[in-house]
Chains A and B, each alone.
Chain A
Amino acid sequence: MPAPTNSRHAVLIGWVLPVLIVVLWETLSRAGVITDNVLPAPTAVFAAFLRFLQTGELQQNIGISAWRALTGFAIGGSIGFGLGLANGLSALSRNLTDTTLQMVRNVPHLALIPLVILWFGIDEEAKLFLVALGVFFPIYVNTLLGIQGVDPQLVEMGRTYGMGKRKLLIKVILPGALPSIFTGMRYGLGIMWLTLIVAETISATSGLGYMAMQAREFLQIDVVVLSILIYALLGKLADSIARALERFSLQWHPAFQTGA
């Protein structure tokens, strides 16, 4: 049995290193070892944070980026899940589409950026398309793997007890595939942010990536670092929510059982 990962103790220990790094960073900045034009001190970044919070620019850009991220995720995720489900359940559907999908998968979706800009310009569609495409594959692949990995003995059991297709899907197949679907979801979330950062940095007129690029032009390194940190925090937040959801839905799983 793996050690329980969600005890208070473990959570606290995880924060020791980040706090130490920030303290070290501040100390080195104040001592002049790290100069302002390389990396501003954490307090300077925090000051930028307050400044942007006051003007409302920060909330607005975070809002726009989050909207793009979640919409793209929802679109790519549902298509990936739907196709994974279809291909996991139907050999016909799998034979028809899986080879093609596996081939397309080998094209890095970020390589499509020039093409996507040609198609959509720098409008919202371009970013949504890229995010959706990036999120699609991990969710598709892991949903498919999850369904194919469901214990056939359990499926046979369900059949002998008279479960129809619907009941089998809801009571046996989906719950059995769920751990794998969560894995895909968490991969997808990582790709979601990565794609969005790249897309917003290259072509956008709003959002966190745009904010960072603007700041770069005006040599506001504190704002650049702020954007990067906010990306990191949003990524962490998304992952934490996914983990919490995972822990909640997989209570039955020995790996998530913490005793009482």
Chain B
Amino acid sequence: MTAMSSFNFAEPAFSFQGVLRRFGEKSVLSSIDLTVEKGQFLAIIGKSGCGKSTLLRLLAGLDQPDGGHIIRSPVSDGQTATRVMFQEPRLLPWARVLENVAVGLTGLANRTEALSRAHALLAEVGLADRDNDWPAVLSGGQRQRVALARALIGQPGILALDEPLGALDALTRIEMQHLLSSVWQRQKFTAVLVTHDVSEAILLADRVVVLDAGKIALDIAITIPRPRRHGTPEAAHFEQMILGHLLDDERA
């Protein structure tokens, strides 16, 4: 794990430069410029269908841009570049929880090491004694914890999260937000979280970007000191600002 002191906040984790993406005639992302510093927690908000997932897939290398460049800074030894956490946990139903987490070390560690690290990471996400369970017996929130452990085990430089909490009930969601926040503060990866929940973005992110019609419509820093809680006056202030922006767009 990288020590806090070795952190250089001027150093970018990745940078989108004039990135374009079209599907057929439809231009989904038009000229996206976005630079995110190492260790920053970025949240991306926008209406359904505005291209958030597309942006994240480009970042993760699951898709290629039709124009522009995506530059990722090289990662240090023992780190993987980018990991993605999807809205669905995407666990292998035929593999036990421990094996599912070990998938995150495919090609990076031998089996024994992978399993022992997976065991340690499961404890970190609050699933200490579920090693041998099948995914089918876990709750939705627990499955997402396993998916988080799998994403983190390779110590990614960037963790891309595509509405990972979108399918969870309100209480589980808040629990997971706190887990995410504490794991991020400990491991200091660069986090890019796509969410449609404005209060979630404000609770977790250093910076919020609003995406609209394939462009960045708003880019603000969330300056609330951590640890943060839901429903504070400062949070309400930022929430008003972002919501106002999203709704303004609607009227325009």
Contact = CB atoms under 8 A, between A and B. Distances in A.
A178 B108 CA distance: 28
A257 B134 contact: yes
Interface string A193-224: 00000000000000000000000000000000
Interface in B133-170: 134-137, 150
B92 A153 contact: no
A175 B107 contact: no
B139 to A, nearest CB: 14
Given A161-B103, A161-B106, A257-B136, A175 B92 contact: yes
Contacts of B136: 252-254, 257
B119 interface: no
B134 A162 contact: no
Nearest to B137: A257
Contacts of B103: 157-158, 161, 163, 171
B90 interface: yes
A253 B93 contact: yes
Interface string A119-161: 0000000000000000000000000000000000110111111
A163 B94 CA distance: 16
B106 A157 contact: no
Nearest to A160: B84
A153 B57 CA distance: 13
A101 B106 CA distance: 37
SS of A interface (majority)? helix
A162 B106 contact: yes
B95 A252 contact: yes
Nearest to B107: A162
Interface in B83-107: 83-84, 86, 88, 90, 92-96, 103-104, 106-107
B60 interface: yes
A252 B93 CA distance: 6
Interface in A15-48: none
Given A153-B88, A161-B104, A252 B94 contact: yes
B62 interface: yes
A160 B95 contact: no
Interface in A213-260: 250-254, 257
A171 B104 contact: no
Contacts of A175: 92, 94-95
Contacts of A172: 92
B144 to A, nearest CB: 14
A167 interface: yes
Contact of A160 (B60, B92, B94, B108): B60
B90 A157 contact: yes
Nearest to A156: B62
Nearest to A172: B92
Contact of B83 (A156, A158, A160, A167): A160
A175 B150 CA distance: 19
Contact of A153 (B86, B95, B104): B86
Nearest to B136: A254
A163 B95 CA distance: 15
A201 to B, nearest CB: 42
A153 B93 CA distance: 12
Interface in A162-203: 162-164, 167, 171-172, 175-176, 178
B118 to A, nearest CB: 13
B76 to A, nearest CB: 18
Given A161-B106, A171-B92, A252-B93, 17 more contacts: A153-B90, A156-B62, A157-B103, A158-B103, A159-B62, A161-B103, A162-B106, A162-B107, A164-B107, A171-B95, A176-B94, A178-B94, A250-B94, A251-B134, A252-B95, A252-B134, A252-B135
Interface of A: 153-154, 156-164, 167, 171-172, 175-176, 178, 250-254, 257
15 contacts: A153-B90, A154-B90, A156-B90, A157-B103, A158-B103, A162-B106, A163-B107, A171-B103, A176-B94, A178-B94, A251-B134, A252-B96, A253-B136, A257-B134, A257-B136
